[in-house]
Amino acid sequence: MSGEPVSGEPAGPPPRRSGLRNPPAAARGLGAATLGLEALVLVLAIQPIRMVADGSGPAAMVVSAVLAVGAVTLAGLLRRRWAWYAGTVLQGLVLLAGLLHWSLLVVGVLFGVVWAYVWHVRRVILS
């Protein structure tokens, strides 16, 4: 025998369940795109917060800018496993920022749901 498979199937690694060439890169791309879009929304939210804010407007604007910078930073760090968990923490912080202004609560809820879906897709394509 020459060591080839008996059943006639070609030798090599089993096919990936997802069919993607590089599933980890696809998951990182999805996570980075989500965090990048969230950062954009947080930056764009500063002007409406300024226009309709009550007494907590300046604090909400600063927090929105800081969270946007954090989202961009984490988008670039998704190669590291801990950055995925930090992204989840970021979603919680955006929800907490909703205490300063209701619009940040809306952003937090929307992107929290999207981030949960990103985690689901990541789990499915990496398994």
pLDDT in tens, 52-85: 877 778 899 999 999 999 999 999 999 999 999 9
Cα 96 → chain centroid: 17
Q: Which pLDDT score is estimated for 7?
A: 62
Instruction: Quote the pTM value.
Output: 0.83
The mean per-residue pLDDT over the stretch 26-52 comes to: 95
> Are 122 and 31 within 8 A, CB to CB?
yes
Given a cut of 60, whether residue 3 has pLDDT beyond it is no
Q: Which pLDDT score is estimated for 43?
A: 97
Domain boundaries, the chain: 23-126
Q: Which pLDDT score is estimated for 57?
A: 84
Buried b (16+ CB within 10 A) or exposed e, 2-32: eeeeeeeeeeeeeeeeeeeeebeebbbebbb
